[in-house]
Structure 1
Amino acid sequence: MSRDLDKSELIRRLDEILPGTGKKHDHRLVALRGWCEVDQVATAVGVVRVVRVRSELELRRLLPGIHEETGFIAYMLEWPAAELPVDVAGRFFGYGRVFRFQRIDRIRNLFGGGRNYVDVDYDLAKSRLGAYLVERFRPGELDTPAGRVTLDGAFATWLKRQWGLDAGEALGLDTLLAWAATNGRGHEMRDELASESAAQVRAELDAFFRRRVGDAGPLVFETWLEGRGRLLLQFAALFETMVEDPTGAPSGAIRTAAGHGLGLNEAKLEALIQPLGRGAEAAFRAVSPAGELQFVRAVLADAEKLISSSEHAALVASPRLPSAWRVRLDRLGAALAEGVDSPSVTSFAAAREALRNLESHVAYLDEASVRTLKRAQFATRLLGWLVVRPDRQYQPGHQVYADAQTLAVWYAQEGGYVDLARRRARGGGESEFELGIARVLAAVDAARVDLDRRFAKGYVEWLRANRPKKPLLAIDQAVATFAAPYLEGGEHRRMLVLLMDGMAWAQAVELLEDLDRGSSPWYPIAWNTQASSTDNGFFTPVLAQLPSITKVSRSAFFAGVPTKFDAKLTNIQDAKVWADHKALARFYTNGGMPKLLAKSDAFDIDGTARQPALTLIKDTNQPVVALILNAIDDHLKASTQVDQDWTVDRIHALRDLLDAAAEAGRAVLLAADHGHVSGQRLENAGRDSDPGEGSTRWRAWIEGDAVREYEVCIESGGHAWAPKGPKIKGVILLADDTRQYGGAHHYGEHGGASLAEVVAPTVVIGAEAIKPKTPGFEDAALEARRALPPSWWLLDVEPAPTIVKETAAKSSPVEVQVELWQEPSPAPVTPAKAAPKPAIATSLHVSEATKKVVTKLGKNALFKARAPDPKKRDVIIRALEILLERKGGVPAAVFGKHVGLPGFRVGGFVSSLTEVLNVDGYEVVAYDPQAKLVVLTPELLAQGFDL
């Protein structure tokens, strides 16, 4: 039996239990478990008589009569009990509850309230913390659902309830440091721990932090008590630099500043540097989700001020300090400038490494940093394009229009990526980073001006030559090429023609990438290559009619014939000419006709699709349905200061239209009537004459007008439209993206003869939902044939492949370039018979050593047994080629491009590879999902297949 409670403790306990002065007292009896050598005590409610009882029988004997007037009586029970018998419980305060009086009981009441199942650990019962808590808190104030309360559990509950520190099982140095930096109550706890009731609790608290966090824990706590928690987080950012770069960081300056600022001796400071340096990332991450970005920003800005600005450049290894971000930006800028001066695989690799260093910096602090990082990525991609220059791999033919053929094909495959990167990389400023981007853009812009002018001149000559077929396709033939033959493939085939007015390839590549995401992706299908078999890339170059304005080129698209040169544009009705399209007439009988909904019938004022449009698309009796989406064309009149990503969600009606098409089993011909040039570089150019006809990118060609170097001209009737007039010979069009004929500066302009305006995106997309559901029936045209980005877009730049042919005398090999397309010509031409036409994107150079390995593997009996399908073996061989060539692993995006898969499907594909290649359990090939890297171990491949 314990007698460790004195009279004062009993009084305090009764004051906790009994109601306060002035309240009505229905019950005057109270039961306690414990012992105290007193007969009565004075409490807040008056004198309380103390009666000690040894058994229940004695309790019943000493109870006053039911109607007997009596004062307050406290019965001290000497036997263990949680509640009194029910027949007497109603007479007691708390309805028969036995209030525990010993320290362990009081601790149990503190954490468990009235629950008798709470077990209190012996270490807690005898600790100074336990004594402090029962003196400081009332029963139930630290209530916890735990069935057992340990010393550490008590610390965790108290620290969380009283001081806001989540010191549970997840407590680590990161949590402690984040709390110390954001909680400003250190002085309050310091005063509390200095009180008489909390004597010796500090020592137990230090031991708790050491057990849970390590030796650095008590030091972080000590710093917080002194009100330096925020300062400690600042130094953690500096310590991180010392950990990341032990030799380059200004360690001496950081140590001096920390010793002075934190008030710690040398030994304590050394004990903090490594743990805080390694834990800084997690600590800042712990702070950020709590909506403390402004706080983090301020902490990092102040951290740099702790040392001299002359030392800031040496902080480059920091993944979060602003100065490190600026230094990394400038290093990338220098690498970009050097790459422009000496474009090579080596200089590009240096820029790519600088970009990766920039990407490893925590740039989540503000939107400006995110935009800057994206600009850096686009600029580095453009440098990769400058190094590779796929457009230079092809020598044009001998015809005057050959440049139009080669460059239009090139542009349809990857020109959109170039122009998208140009648009997004632009900015301004005088830093080394900005100057480096400006150097890259200047070089790419100059190249694009040359390509545009060459194309424009070749295009008007192509028109004058009466539009020779292949590889180019006039826009008035797009429906007859892509839609009509598709519909002939069976009754299950239906199509939605979705004309995206003004969409250039720069927007098309963005939109196609976004469409291929999510659980129900839309993607280019095999029909694209079947409909227009050119052997010159995945996308067919479809060329807008000149001038590349809506009324001319869109009318040609829907009519199936060029817009007549003498047509009055205001009289052309797209719905009417679409209904009369000759290539579609055979699919309609009994008076039916193709339908094109007007904008007012298809869309509400908020841009969403109206029900009549969705109903028409879902109508399976309609072979083809056409709609016009003006989202991009409408945006062209926005300011050059406004930009946006072109995704499915940005075009309000698009998702609903695609869902309706999927429900009706429709493929979608995603097309544009023309593209546009960015307004970012357009300067005003005067007109020689102004008859009132023309726009910002074209003008009427008046007899006597000079055609300048940045212009081309085409006569009326040469498959181009021109306004009527006695002196009008045709039209003059701007041939590059540097000028406009007056007017305000907008997001984009069109009407000229540049690649971006004339090469109109045209691609058939499909989804799994549109495939026939008939068992055993397959339609090869509907299979996914995703067109992946060019290698340089994925930051994968290798030397361009060299194609060789032997001279007549069979002497040393001579490097040659292959013509992309060349029609028969009377001039004698010696073709490179042994050289296949290269792909537009840089192909993989396969060394002789790799060829030897894959050739032996292809003949290997074990390999054939593990991969009996020849097609699967071919794909595996193709995968092994790039893995053997690129030592150290291949990024998923690059690997996917080589084998023909989007990056997000590479993991599953590698899993199928392991089933064939991982012989006897050896990890020959593996995929690292964190690094997004495919890795091959050549030695294990050779061992497994005895190569």
Structure 2
Amino acid sequence: MAAHPVVGRRAIEMLLQVELPQSEGERLVLVDAAYEDRGREAEFTVQINGTSRHVRISDHDSLLGVVDAWQRHRAEADEDENGENGDKDEDRVLVVTGRVPAEQLGWDLRAHAVRHRPLPVDRAEIVKQLFGATDLDPRMSGERWLLDALLEAEPVDGGWPRAGAVLTRDRAVRALLAQRLGLGDTTSDTLDLDADTLFAWSRTPTGPATYAALPLAEREGIAEWLAQAAGPAAATLMALAADGRGEQALPLGALASAALSSEAAEAAGFALGTLFGPALSSFEALRPFADAATGVLTRWIAQAESSGPQREEARGRVLDVLEHADRLSTEAKLSPLIGTDRLLPSGYRQRLRDLAALLGGPAGPAETALRHLTEHQLSTVYADSTETARAAVRLVRWLHRPLPPVESVGRAVRAHMASSGWADLAVSILAEGDSSRDAAVAGAYEKLITAVRARRARLDEAFAQRLAVWTEGASQQAPGGALLIEDVLTEAAAPLARNGGRPLILVLDGMSADVAVQLAGELDRRVWTEVVPKPGPGRQPARQAAVSMVPSVTRISRASLLCARAEEGGQNKERTGFATFWKRRRREAQLFHKGGYEGPPGHGLAPELLQTLASDDIVGVVLNTIDDALADGREGIAGRWRIGDIAKLPNLLNAARDYGRPVLLVSDHGHVLDRTPRTHQQTAADGVQGARWRTGTPEDGEILLAGPRVGAPGGRAVLPWREDLRYTARQAGYHGGASLAEVTVPVITLVPSAALIPDGWTLLPAEGTAPGWWRGEQDPAPDSEPPATFEATAATGTGSPAASAPPLVEVPVAAVDSEAAEGTRGPRTEPRAEPASPTPGRNSLGERVVRSDPYEAQRKFVRGIQGDKGDTAVAAALDALVEAGGKLSPGAVAAAAQSATGRSQRNPERFATVLERLLNVDGYPVLQLVESGRTVQLNKALLEEQFLGDVE
């Protein structure tokens, strides 16, 4: 026998709205169904044709109960009519439900009932009416859970949306999900329901709880539909929601992925089963659930890696889920079984610890550990921590690279600019500490910094000894192969002013080599092209570096820089000397100091400065942000600098671009940071003149300098080369000493247009600025033990860093990479290896392409490639791209072409565009400018297919 139907209030309301308008005066409605809330009478009001009707529902399983309910209803209605209530008899309706067969109801009772018989409740018919449909999906008639749910969940305001002629099952379920669970919109004809939507819903505060409170049949029906619409993972997810653990769905999915990929998968799966409990129907259901969850998390991680406005929100969402997963893993004692999982934060931290444990040995294992760390899916979410780890491995490489002997002051400062200054940058990154706050990692970093400082101290000692000899006779007339700070305007600024050029000279007071490479690396290469003097035959282009005055303090070095001769003085001296230098070259010039270039409220720069920039005058601006930070503690917080950290530097660079001015970024001296313990005291000494210089007799860690470039009484001064010596109160950093970081003056030249490259100068590709060990290039020799072992160096952490430092490795200059690249001043006798470029006749890929018939045919239609030199340039560019793995900056591509032909490629972007037109036959993307024009990308396989016809 079929089960007796059960109805709810909404079904009865719809039944009354259909039947009562056709049965005026009737007060009894018999319903052939049981009421869902049995044992209780329900009363409510329903609107029938604009009139309120008071309804009472009474449920009975016996004829006597039905008769008694009707008699009581009549009596109460009569009493109300005669009493104060005044309700009309016909306004009150009794609805009787129950399991009394129709044949047992006498005619005396049925005569008072609507239609004189028990009325059947057709849920399908009611649902059709609610959606305004004329027909119903046949599948729905047998799904009582769906029909009942649609009756129960009808929106109060406006009801269900109109569904058209036919109400489909999917349309009905989508409307139900929107109304019941907040999944989608009841007014939408479609529901873009996927794993992302479902897992995001599982994290809402009310969605899963609402689902758990639904009747069992409705939960099962929704779960079945979702499994078909959103995939098999939906069943497990909804089971967790029904169990009151919807917020654990994503964390458990991440754990499931870790367990299934674990080497101890069976044991991990058992532990995982205790976490899922009854929500896990079978272990076979784990795989689709884990895959769906990791897919969602991977997409969320990609959002956290982007630069969009939702980045921080996505990052917080990802970490919230995965840290929850780690907590669950710990509670279930699952963590030891999943190890270094590539998704969980615990896996990232373990990989980081593994890397830290290898920092005291050869570079090879540390390199492998770094790759393992960067392969973790959170490596970019923990971007700061990953960058710090990368800096640590770079320092391990540097410790194992041979250092050139300090043969001259000029070569030493250029090598510092090209290599050891980058080591200072890596130490600054490492010194900030790791965001994980892991004690083992922090300890390893501390030991590594100590080892690097020991090596740097030995290098500084050797440089100081060479500096002492050189200083005795160095002058503008006899620089000894070095670029003097007083010659920077002549050697670097004057070439930019030729033929009416209007350089902007920005003096960043206190900018050391590590700060300079950071700022230069942040420049937009689509706007600025870095240029340097052309090197001699067989030499590679390299950044310029000058030698400061001694002691390396602002009053002496900056005045000498701006006056173009050895001077001492303040702002008035600098302004006069700057104007005089340019007047001798028949140019007007103005120098702006702090307070003179800052605009009033509403202005980025002073109107006077902007007016001067618009003129033909040479303009100089002195920026004190870095030097000021050494006193106020800015670098005590962070050693890294961005362009936006330098007050008004972004405004000045933008103004220079707008006015078409080349820019010279130069310092007056560098600095060292105070990385000693807080308990470290200043060094007691006689004749103290500043934080890092004094008069008297040198002691351990100091050097006596004397000569015409020593701006001290009697031309003599004692300067420390050890960075941990200071003679005054503690500050964030110091300058004035004889270390490479303080004496080296970075000189960076930028042009906004290739037309402004001075004669005799060439572009410097971005790839050519960082040393090989920073980029991760193969060491020139196999790994060996570091010059000073970790443990031996760390043991001297409280004493002089030089005390246990190893001697410098003496190696032939020819064996050293670009970190010792020679500049344009001073003789050089050592041979230098040619930069990588095609050797004619070696049958490289580039040479085979330019000899091919398709290339010859294509070249006829492209201007800019002429003669044999043009073909050589194309071949060299292609070979450089292939050697680099298919990607280079436009500057590097142009530099390869220039190196092979000797013909200057003054406009790298234009040269790349010509290559693009030449190689992209029939529109196929053989070569493209990507990343907004910052990168040239070569498709090697497509190049071979298009021009050689042989894809390997």
* 1:192 counterpart letter in structure 2: L
Select which of 406, 425, 428 maps to 1:423. Answer: 428
Query: 1:796 maps to which residue?
Result: 776
State the AA in 1 paired with 2:709.
H
Alpha carbons of structure 1 residues 36 and 906: separation in structure 2 relative to 1, 3 Å: farther
User: Does structure 1 conserve the Cα–Cα contact (< 8 Å) formed by 2:416 and 2:740?
Assistant: yes
The alignment status of 1:132 with 2:149, answered yes or no, reads: yes
Counterpart residue number, 1:651: 646
Confirm or deny that 1:732 pairs with 2:718.
yes
**Structure 1 residues 624, 885: closer, same or farther in 2, change over 3 A?**
closer
Following TM superposition, by how much is the alpha carbon of 1:158 offset from its aligned partner in structure 2, in angstroms? 2.6
1:201 is displaced (CA, Å) by: 3.3
| Change beyond 3 A, Cα 1:33–1:380 | farther
2 CA distance for matches of 1:45 and 1:166?
30
CA pair 154-543 structure 1, distance change in 2 beyond 3 A: farther
- Which of the numbers 499, 521, 546 marks the counterpart of 1:513? 521
Q: 1:516 to 1:749 in 2, by over 3 A?
A: same
Q: Give 1:603's match in structure 2, choosing from 579, 592, 598.
A: 598
Question: 2:631 maps to what in 1?
Answer: 637
Q: CA deviation at 1:228?
A: 2.4
Q: Is the 8 A contact 1:253 1:307 kept in 2?
A: no
Residue in structure 2 matched with residue 324 of structure 1 by the alignment: 347
- After superposition, the C-alpha distances for 1:691-750 in whole angstroms (9 at most, x for unaligned) are 3x42221112x2xx1343x322222x521100x3xxx6611112243332242141x211
> Is residue 243 of structure 2 the alignment partner of residue 226 of structure 1?
yes
Letter in 2 for 1:752: G
Aligned match of 1:404: 409
Partner of 1:315: 338
Alignment of 1:284-323 (within 5 A): 289=314, 292=317, 295-296=320-321, 298-308=323-333, 312-323=335-346
Instruction: Give how far 1:444 is off.
Output: 2.9
Task: Name the structure 1 match of 2:559.
Answer: 555
Q: Verify the 8 A CA contact 1:463 1:718 in the aligned structure 2.
A: yes
Q: Give the whole-Å Cα distance in 2 for the aligned partners of 1:373 and 1:274.
A: 31
Shift of 1:799: 4.0
Closer/same/farther in 2, CA of residues 880 and 10 from structure 1, 3 Å limit: closer
Instruction: Kindly indicate whether residue 221 of structure 2 is the aligned counterpart of residue 204 of structure 1.
Output: yes
For the structure 1 residues 102 and 73, does the alpha-carbon distance in structure 2 shift closer, same or farther, using more than 3 Å as the test? farther
Mark the CA change 1:156 to 1:214 in structure 2 (over 3 Å): closer, same or farther. same
Deviation at 1:282, TM superposition (A): 0.8
Among 475, 478, 486, the residue aligned to 1:476: 486
Could you say which residue in structure 2 is the equivalent of 1:377?
A: 390
1:696 maps to which residue?
691
2:185 paired with 1:163: no
Deviations 1:353-384 (A, max 9, x none): 234235x33563xxxx4432221021122233
Q: Distance in 2 between matches of 1:933 and 1:919?
A: 16
**8 A Cα contact 1:608 1:653, kept in partner:** no
1:225 Cα deviation after fit: 0.5
| Residue 806 (structure 2) aligns with | none
Q: Which has the higher contact order (CA 8 A, sep 6+)?
A: 2
SS in structure 2 at match of 1:336:
coil
Distance 1:110 1:293, change over 3 A: farther
Partner of residue 580, structure 1: 580
Measure how far apart 1:475 and its partner are. Answer: 0.9
Q: CA deviation at 1:315?
A: 2.2
Change (3 A) 1:312 1:49: closer
Q: CA deviation at 1:150?
A: 3.5
Q: Is the 8 A contact 1:677 1:749 kept in 2?
A: yes
Partner residue of 1:538 out of 528, 542, 545: 542
Query: Structure 1 residues 791-800 or 594-603, which shifts more?
Result: 791-800
Query: Aligned partner of 2:321: which letter?
Result: V
Shift of 1:558: 1.2
Q: CA deviation at 1:221?
A: 0.9
In the alignment, structure 1 segments of 5+ residues that lack a partner are 18-31, 51-68, 75-100, 195-199, 397-401, 773-777, 803-813
CA–CA distance in 2 between the matches of 1:488 and 1:793?
Answer: 37
* Structure 2 SS opposite 1:713: strand
Deviations 1:72-94 (A, max 9, x none): 899xxxxxxxxxxxxxxxxxxxx
Deviation at 1:753, TM superposition (A): 1.8
Task: Give yes or no for contact 1:471–1:536 (8 Å, CA) kept in 2.
Answer: no
How big is each residue's C-alpha offset from its partner over 1:204-223, in whole Å with a ceiling of 9 and x where there is no partner? Answer: 32331121122332232122
2:702 is the counterpart of 1:711: yes
Specify the code of the residue in structure 2 equivalent to 1:559: C
Equivalent of 2:738, from 745, 748, 753?
753
Task: Confirm or deny: 8 A CA contact 1:463 1:719 kept in the other structure.
Answer: yes
| Alpha-carbon distance change, 138 to 458 in structure 1, aligned in 2, over 3 angstroms | closer
The counterpart of 1:458, out of the listed 440, 461, 466, is 466
Output aligned runs, 1:241-320, within 5 Å: 241-243=258-260, 245-246=261-262, 248=263, 250-264=264-278, 268-283=282-297, 289=314, 292=317, 295-296=320-321, 298-308=323-333, 312-320=335-343
Q: Please, which moves more after superposition, 182-191 or 416-425?
A: 182-191
Q: Distance in 1 between the 2:90 and 2:49 partners?
A: 7
Deviations 1:736-786 (A, max 9, x none): 43332242141x211112221111122222224x968xxxxx987898644
SS in 2 for 1:209: helix
Residues 932 and 176 (structure 1), Cα distance of their counterparts in 2 relative to 1, 3 Å cut: farther
| CA offset digits 1:511-533 (Å, max 9, x no partner) | 1222226xx63332x4x326999
Asked if 2 retains the 8 angstrom alpha-carbon contact of 1:618 and 1:663, the reply is no
1:781-930 → structure 2 map (5 Å cutoff): 785-788=764-767, 789-790=769-770, 792=772, 795-800=775-780, 817=815, 835-837=831-833, 859-860=851-852, 862-867=854-859, 868-869=865-866, 870=868, 873-881=871-879, 889=885, 892=887
Q: Deviations over 1:430-474 (max 9, x none)?
A: 855445434543443233222222223223322323343474211
Moved more, 312-321 or 528-537: 528-537
Q: Determine helix, strand or coil for the equivalent of 1:944.
A: coil
Match of 2:378 in 1: 361
CA distance in structure 1 between the partners assigned to 2:8 and 2:550 by the alignment: 105
Q: Mind listing any 5+ residue stretches in structure 2 that lack a counterpart?
A: 29-43, 52-87, 94-120, 302-312, 783-811, 860-864, 897-906
**1:336, 1:351 within 8 Å by CA — same for their partners in 2?**
no
Q: CA deviation at 1:551?
A: 0.6
Does the aligned pair in 1 maintain the 2:894–2:908 contact within 8 Å? no
Q: Residue 186 of structure 1: CA displacement?
A: 4.2
Matched to 1:631, the amino acid is: T
Deviation (angstroms), 1:873? 3.8
- The one-letter amino acid of 1:712's match is I
Contact 1:471 1:534 in 2 (8 A): no
CA contact (8 A) 1:917 1:924 kept: yes
SS at match of 1:541: strand
> Against the structure 1 CA distance between its residues 277 and 407, is the aligned structure 2 distance closer, same or farther, given a 3 Å change threshold?
same
Three-state SS of the structure 1 residue aligned to 2:278 is: coil
SS in 1 for 2:738: coil
Say how many residue pairs are matched.
794
Give 3-state SS (helix, strand or coil) of 1:637's partner.
helix
SS at match of 1:153: helix
For residues 130 and 201 of structure 2, the distance between their equivalents in structure 1, rounded to whole angstroms, comes to 26
For 2:669, what is the secondary structure of its paired residue?
Answer: coil
Q: Match for residue 806 of structure 1? A: none
Distance 2:504 2:889 in 1: 33
* TM-score w.r.t. length of structure 2: 0.71
Worse-superposed segment, 662-671 or 293-302: 293-302
Aligned to 2:169: 151
Find the residue that maps to 2:698 and give its secondary structure. Answer: coil
Query: What is the match of residue 64 of structure 2?
Result: none
SS at the partner of 1:538? Answer: coil
Q: Is the 8 A contact 1:381 1:792 kept in 2?
A: no
